Amino acid sequence: MKIMTDWISFWDTQHSIYVNARHRDVHYRGLAEDLLHYVPSPDAVVLDYGCGEALYAGVVAAAARRLILVEAPPGVVAALTARFAAEPRIEIITPDRLAEQPDHGVDLIVLHSVAQYLSAAAFAALLAQFRRLLRPGGLLIVGDVIPPDLSPLADVLSLLRFARTQRFLGAALIGLARTLASDYARLRMTLGFARYDAPAMLAKLAAAGFSGARAASNIGHNQRRMTFLARPV
């Protein structure tokens, strides 16, 4: 699928989405802290699909028995493998290896800031995989879902508020200017993002065999986007 191929290639480059090291650090630290609230027990198996650089995956792994990080870009996979080589609880796999995972062996699946890059067919196929992998009573988190009426300007303002509170506002202003002239902006304009309002996302989840609800808050800093919690039925 071209949309996935193009985005995977982008994420395997030296992009400017994170405007500096502090932005990258506080972004991944915040995600890890948010996800900790959802790890059901110290014996849990957690799968994070499209985890990115996952700088603080060790924090989540320490609260679980096993953490499976799933990524596609080769450079990102290599970096994750090197970063967590000494972490016995963390396993790095690529999406094609998801089929090798046993049925009903995962307690928590995280799909954060990924759904917008997937075609409807690819998203449905992935949800079917997740339905197979989750234990009865397990939890699927679909985070950072973009509603149809959310403008790019709203995303920019959310980032600037986050940058101000986390003390990287100057770098954020420079980074936004770089991003506007980058391949990210071009890809977003040409490929677009998949967007879902709450009823549409709940319908997608129901069609895949999940009972879902919108969470009270989104994972991460952008509270104009949405997180959904779903369990297999």
DSSP the chain: -HHHHHHHHHHTS---SS-SHHHHHHHHHHHHHHHHTT---TT-EEEEET-TT-TTHHHHHHTSSEEEEE---HHHHHHHHHHTTT-TTEEEE-GGGGGGSPTT-EEEEEEES-GGGS-HHHHHHHHHHHHHHEEEEEEEEEEEEPPTT--HHHHHHHHHHHHHHHT-HHHHHHHHHHHHTSHHHHHHHHH------HHHHHHHHHHTTEEEEE-SS-SSS-TTSEEEEEEE-
What pLDDT score was predicted for residue 175? 80
How many Å apart are CA 173 and CA 86, to the nearest integer?
Answer: 37
10-residue mean pLDDT profile of the chain (233 residues): values are 60 75 93 96 98 96 98 94 96 95 97 94 96 97 95 87 90 79 64 88 98 97 96 97
Backbone angles phi and psi of 153, in degrees to 5: -60, -40
What pLDDT score was predicted for residue 188? 64
Backbone angles phi and psi of 17, in degrees to 5: -60, -45
Q: Helix 120-133 vs helix 198-207: angle between axes, to the nearest 10 degrees?
A: 50
What pLDDT score was predicted for residue 177? 75
| Tens digits of residue pLDDT in 181-198 | 666 666 666 666 899 999
What pLDDT score was predicted for residue 4? 47
How many Å apart are CA 122 and CA 99, to the nearest integer?
Answer: 15
What pLDDT score was predicted for residue 3? 44
User: What's domain 2-232's superfamily in CATH?
Assistant: Vaccinia Virus protein VP39 (3.40.50.150)
Extents of the domains making up the chain:
2-232
What pLDDT score was predicted for residue 6? 75
What pLDDT score was predicted for residue 214? 98
| Tens digits of residue pLDDT in 201-220 | 999 999 999 999 999 999 99
